[in-house]
Amino acid sequence: MSENHVSGMEASAVSVLKRAVELDQSGRFQESLVCYQEGIQLLIDVLKALKDESKRGHYREKIKGYMDRAEQIKAHVSQMKEDGKYHEQIKISDDATGYSYEALFKPYLSSALTEVWVQDPYIRHTHQLYNFLRFCEMLLKSGCKVKQIHLLTSQDEADSSQQSSALSELKDSLGAQGVTLNLQFSSTIHDREIRFDSGWIIKIGRGLDYFKKPKGRFSIGYCNYDLRQCHETSVDIFHTKHTKTL
């Protein structure tokens, strides 16, 4: 392995672990745990490539320190889950970037996830339907084993044919991937909530529709949603041992 490659891994590890510490200090424990785990793996890869024994000793100490903290967080999160007291809040500021569905939901996805419930009254207009499509694509890409997605939304009274056609097409497309999409409509729902059968509950103030419209079709953020500006909103994350259907 070249020296430049090792230096690159070191820089990546420093960046990820710095983020882990920031999240840790702000009480966003589940997110920080994911970053600690990624950063530790990068340091282990660096350690394997080093030949200087003094540097290897330095990295062993660093790895041990981060592993100890990760284990403490894991135990803390597990206890809060057990007690039914887990809650963290993420505040997305106006014009913030870096909050794609992949970035936001990643800490709460695992191979244990098989069923998802989405309650959002605003999966009606074209951009909102695309948001839901992107959310489904994110689940398929994540490595979890989702087999069922339940959507509870309201019907578009102005143009229900477009909504019906889009959701029907998505249902067929998901079916071809081995995933069942169950659709329900309600004229009275208002709250927005996403539940995973692994116990996670994610409540986004604006639902899935927290991205701003891009300035143009060839503007940065049009395709990559990590670069798309967001509306101000809050995300509350809870955990329950008994996930109920919506």
Range of the domain at 172: 88-239
Q: Is residue 225 part of a domain?
A: yes
Q: Is residue 41 part of a domain?
A: yes
The structure tokens listed for 158 are 């102005």
Q: Is residue 98 part of a domain?
A: yes
Note the pLDDT of residue 160: 82
Last residue of a domain, one of 57, 85, 113: 85
Same domain, 50 and 21: yes
Q: Is residue 245 part of a domain?
A: no
pLDDT tens, position by position, 192-236 = 999 999 999 999 999 999 999 999 999 999 999 999 999 999 999
pLDDT tens, position by position, 122-162 = 999 999 999 999 999 999 999 889 999 999 999 988 778 89
Same domain, 80 and 135: no
What is the domain count for the chain?
2
Q: Is residue 203 part of a domain?
A: yes
In terms of Cβ atoms closer than 10 Å to its own Cβ (0-12, 13-18, 19+), residue 242 is exposed
Same domain, 139 and 199: yes
CATH of residue 67's domain is: 1.20.58.80
| CA dihedral of residues 63, 69, 70, 72 (deg, nearest 10) | 150
Instruction: Report whether 183 contacts 166 (CB < 8 A).
Output: no
Q: Is residue 66 part of a domain?
A: yes
Same domain, 71 and 188: no
Contacts of 178 (CB under 8 A, 6+ apart): 147
Among 36, 44, 5, 40, which residue's Cα sits nearest to residue 19? 36
The structure tokens listed for 154 are 């309201």
0.85 exceeded by pTM? no
Q: Is residue 63 part of a domain?
A: yes
Radius of gyration of the chain (CA): 21
Strand ranges (DSSP E) for the chain?
A: 87-92, 115-119, 148-153, 180-185, 193-196, 200-204, 233-239
| CA dihedral of residues 35, 102, 190, 200 (deg, nearest 10) | -40
How distant, in Å, are the alpha carbons of 8, 14, 143 from that of 134? 31, 31, 15
